[in-house]
Amino acid sequence: MPIKVPAGLPALQLVKNEGIAVDELERATAKTLHIALLNIMPMKETTEADFIRLLSFSDEEIELTLLKLDTHIPKHASPEHMELYYTSFNTIKDCHFDGLINTGAPIEKIEYEDVTYWEELCRIFDWAKEHVTSTLFICWAAQAGLYQRFGIQKYLLPQKMFGVFPHTIAKPQEPLFNGVEETIYVPHSRHTELHREDIIAEKRIELLSESALSGVYIMQERGRKDFFITGHSEYALYTLDGEYKRDVSKGLPIELPLNYYRDDNPANEPVNRWQATARKLFDNWLKYYCK
């Protein structure tokens, strides 16, 4: 897929070094999809690569704009990186985008109103209703978006939801699931959850996919092309491995990620159960909802 990213973005070269063919789009054309990525994950380059990797498997032409918050200075990204490759929300607030991806953030144990950039995030969520054709809310952003729009609460889990879980599809005729298997696997890594009964009770939301183990997965706002996704379809193969070994090395309480390592043995390689589905889901999103 031809993709245009900020010139010199290291994440693009990282994806190319993995052997993934990415054509660089020199300039936007009439058929180019303008996609914004609001990246509030701490490790910026990792998340940039995750989404470039996914989007690169589509045939659509994409111009990717990396968005940053004006009210938050990242601790794990250099000021130079943010200045070179990211655009502030105030700079693009009068523009229209075909798609917006809001990433998660490891702040789920904090009350929404206590998040230092909550007010700006709410402004972006509201702005997207009028300026974006289709919006994806990923992981914590899905919880935050459902709370901001519908007042749906999150709940602390007794232990981390961690692993790769099977999910069923409630509405297979939805274009989002074209060419997708009946059972799909998705990585989850979170300390909070949404309650299914709260989702079902909210008539403005339609539940599209869920898991008996990890709970609700994909929800869509009725009458809009906006999706709330609680898992991490974008994760690279070794992301959960890195999280697990990091916590073990720090002596933190962490269970083995479920359905992840071959034979559930961390000495073995992870089993890639989700990436083919993730590519299809994102391709369908671009084709059927961002136009």
Please say if 191 is a catalytic residue.
no
- Catalytic hit among 61, 139, 167, 188: 139
CATH number of the domain enclosing 212 = 3.40.50.880
Catalytic entry in 60, 61, 202, 234? 234
**For residue 81, is it within any domain?**
yes
Q: Does residue 85 lie within any of the structural domains?
A: yes
Residue 246 located in a structural domain: no
Question: 263 lies in a domain?
Answer: no
Q: What is the DSSP string of 18-83?
A: TT---EEPSS--TT-EEEEEE--SSSHHHHHHHHHHHHTTSSS-EEEEEEE-SS---SSS-HHHHH
Q: Give me the pLDDT at residue 1, please.
A: 61
Domain of 65 in residue numbering reads as 2-238+273-288
Tally of domains within the chain: 1
Helix (H, G, I), strand (E, B) or coil at 174: coil
Please provide the DSSP assignment of 68-85 as one string: E-SS---SSS-HHHHHHH
pTM value > 0.75: yes
Q: Which of 34, 167, 188, 232 is the catalytic position?
A: 232
95 given a catalytic annotation: no
In a domain, 244, yes or no: no
Is 234 known to be catalytic? yes
Low-confidence ranges of the chain (pLDDT < 50): none
Rounded alpha-carbon distances, angstroms, from residue 9 to 59, 84, 85, 275: 21, 9, 7, 23
* SS3 category, 228: strand
Residue 248 lies in a domain: no
CB atoms within 10 A of CB 113: 9
Q: Phi first, then psi: what are they for 270, rounded to 5°?
A: -65, 155
